[in-house]
Structure 1
């Protein structure tokens, strides 16, 4: 860990990037006002976090924010499912007990926007007395602002941490078969089948097979056809020819090359299987990497390749989920709460998150800073996969309120495919079942 990050001074809180920003303007623009970090000293903020490595990082360094601002922070972490229920109940009541809320964009974005639960941060971001000059949209992966903005372009929760889906691959197993990392979906299928040797207990591919958990695997593959699960008009499009082709690809990979019992696999079971050294490729979020390089947990330390998603029939796309941190519309301390959110997505906090493998910041200035990279505990291939995925990032789940029901209904269809059902029949059936749920939600 670099002492470089340990004590941010008030003046140069984000000095690492502030210098770059200022250099570009030298002699052209008048000096910009400094953020007055102490303006709300004496305020107390209540912060509601999701139990996660991101939440751990924010709590671990919260005393620095308190020293910087004079603001007292009371924060709590709650496991994800409970946190979603708790925040929904409190925000619906109009009197939440918290000023700052950590949200799973890929599940909660539309629900929070429809409820009007987040303060609009657009004007705060434009205010030089509240916002560091380095906090600019161009420093973030595109998906970050797709998540942060509503349809009218107003900014809700700030982009905190992103999870790109990648292919983890076992270099030893590939070398033993003389195979190269797949460049296309066709190569992916060929490699998965060439690596599979049930007699030796080796399988070429694993991904989530359990219903609900399996839906993002399918929607991630669908992106390779240049399609989302909703069409441009927001209508459900999980029964079109591309969706059926993506479902057929999922079926082939998961029935011809995956271990037995994969219908019961969520990410944890996939990770365990890959850790044993008998899986050629595992497809999931880049944030699941740290145990793979831990000698106490892994038989594949130093043998893991971190691969950017191969190109589909139409395009190469890295499926993306992520989380954000925002200010509640009901908060009486919006500016102070915004300073906390800005600190949470700052370079110093993001650098530590990345260095610990606790999360991947959306900000290019963190991912490309040689000083930050030096302190990263993960291999260089992991960082490269993150940086390359950011360039081709696309949201993997539809931005709708009933996203859990979407995952359930489509997930049943996908699980049926693992039992040999017909892709076209299953996708048409699941789509017909979910379509009225979505229409009611959007009308309501």
Structure 2
């Protein structure tokens, strides 16, 4: 078997116990020992996702390996983000380990210096397992997790690339090729639609806030590719931004199911897995439920491709990501760091990939040919993932008021679905949000 069993994990822990320290320190107690903090208890909070459910399912493995008890809570995404910020701000967070949405909270937690810089923990051979191998993490995700002042205040966990999901059966029936540009995708959506069977050519996020990441996917294919410029000024009403808005409106209003104005990812996923949409652009993490034969009518019929190109010289897919962090206020940084090492170690990151739970921040899983060949995901899935990693770019600006940004721009995009002029809406939204961003930058 490719996956590490609990017994094998324990043997690996015993081997680590016997391993010599990699870096000798004056106050070192000897080599690394997975059982060093046995009897301790930590609290961890992560988002409800395939990754969170994976950790929940395998929590006993960590407890048996280390002797550390873990109170693990798995909280829906939006509530989780709100919860941790409230607790951080109180100065007394209830958790010792938390998941951080880098595309939402990175600048906020960095500015407040709420989290521990894990560089010192990584460098301490008595606290870091010899086989943890931090160099295995991809350069892009390490950069994404690093604050502007150089502090690495979360450990890179996973990347979420936006990709194109397509229904292979529908494509074959209509003899349609995989679109390479957004215009080709729009034409393909028209050909693949079958109103008599309630099949639509496309489905995508229409509800405000959630829809901004689809709009930014189009923007990343233009000459602009950013939402703020080098001087950190807002640029969301440029000709390229307006083109992205018009493309967004075309796909959601003209090519998607009625009622899409209220669709978030969950409604999109349900529509696509029921075979009622030919194409869907969204995060790679939805591959697992789409391939679940117990839930999805199209399991085994899902195609995977990089997002199409736009009219500009750039070809990027939107990147979002998460890191696992230790609050500076935690009194159990050692046991917390042990948990992060286990959760984001080579074995578990490989399992994330092969099970479809998420895209690991590490590089080694992509080189594990045996695991990939035995996965229930098609090779096309892994090829798309590897290709997307090469063209990925942040899908949201790194700003503190990112949620407000998504609300303001998202409302403008939603208004266009009701018939409002795209340019007018984006200019209004840009004018509304610009002073908010400027105030935030002055306070940074």
Q: TM-score, normalised by structure 1?
A: 0.89
Please give the alpha-carbon distance, in whole angstroms, between the structure 2 residues aligned to 1:55 and 1:200: 36
Q: Quick one: which of 137, 145, 149 aligns to 2:146?
A: 149
| 1:28 alignment counterpart | none
1:3–1:269 CA distance, 2 compared to 1 (3 A): closer
Residues 92 and 366 of structure 1: is their aligned pair in 2 closer, same or farther, counting only changes over 3 Å? same
Q: 2:272 & 2:374 partners in 1: Cα distance?
A: 26
Per the alignment, residue 276 of structure 2 pairs with 278
3-state secondary structure, aligned to 2:93: coil
Counterpart of 1:178 (choices 169, 175, 179) is 175
Taking the aligned partners of 1:341 and 1:161, their CA distance within structure 2 comes to 13
- Counterpart CA distance in 1 for 2:40 and 2:297 is 49
In the TM superposition, what whole-angstrom CA distance separates every residue of 1:27-48 from its partner, at most 9, and x where no partner exists? xxxxxx9533333334322222
Give the whole-Å Cα distance in 2 for the aligned partners of 1:410 and 1:262: 17
Within the candidate set 99, 110, 133, 1:102 is matched to 99
- Which residues of 2 match residues 46-61 of structure 1 at below 5 A? 46-61=43-58
User: Cα–Cα, structure 1 residues 187 and 96, in superposed 2: closer, same or farther, change >3 Å?
Assistant: same
Q: How much is the aligned-residue C-alpha RMSD, in angstroms?
A: 2.5
What's the offset of the Cα at 1:163?
A: 1.6
Note if 1:371 corresponds to 2:370.
yes
What is the aligned partner in structure 2 of residue 435 from structure 1? 434
Q: Secondary structure at the match of 1:394?
A: strand
User: Does the 8 Å CA contact 1:14/1:347 hold for their aligned counterparts?
Assistant: no
Task: Give the Å deviation of 1:166.
Answer: 0.7
Q: Which moved more, 1:72-81 or 1:94-103?
A: 72-81
Q: Which runs of 5+ in 1 are unaligned?
A: 16-21, 23-32
* Local SS of the residue matching 1:205: coil
Distance 2:189 2:42 in 1: 51
Distance apart, 1:97 and its partner CA: 2.1
Aligned length: 429
Contact 1:193 1:256 in 2 (8 A): no
Post-superposition shift, 1:241?
A: 1.8
Specify the SS of the correspondent of 1:259.
coil
**Aligned partners of 2:273, 2:50: CA distance in 1, in Å?**
20
Provide the rounded CA distance (Å) in 1 between the counterparts of 2:195 and 2:419: 19
CA distance in 2, matches of 1:410, 1:443: 21
Q: TM-score, normalised by structure 2?
A: 0.89
SS of residue matched to 2:106:
helix
Matched-pair contact (CA < 8 Å) for 1:45–1:99? yes
Instruction: Decide whether aligned partners of structure 1 residues 128 and 302 sit closer, same or farther in structure 2, where only a CA change above 3 A counts.
Output: same
**8 A contact 1:137–1:145 mirrored in 2:** no
Deviations 1:373-400 (A, max 9, x none): 2453333322222222122221111222
> CA–CA distance in 2 between the matches of 1:253 and 1:56?
33
Alignment of 1:111 with 2:112, yes or no, is no
Match of 1:29 in 2: none
More divergent stretch after superposition (235-244 vs 184-193): 184-193
SS in 2 for 1:230: coil
Structure 1 residue 411: deviation in Å? 0.8
Matched, 1:269 2:267: yes
1:242 Cα deviation (Å)?
1.4
**Alpha-carbon shift at residue 367 of structure 1 (Å):** 2.9
Where in structure 2 are the equivalents of 1:202-221 lying within 5 Å? 202-221=199-218
Instruction: Name the CA distance, whole Å, in 1 between partners of 2:146 and 2:192.
Output: 43
Query: For structure 1, which segment, 97-106 or 135-144, has the greater mean C-alpha deviation from structure 2 after superposition?
Result: 135-144
Match of 2:7 in 1: 7
Cα distance between partner residues in 2 of 1:165 and 1:219:
11
Q: Which moved more, 1:150-159 or 1:138-147?
A: 138-147
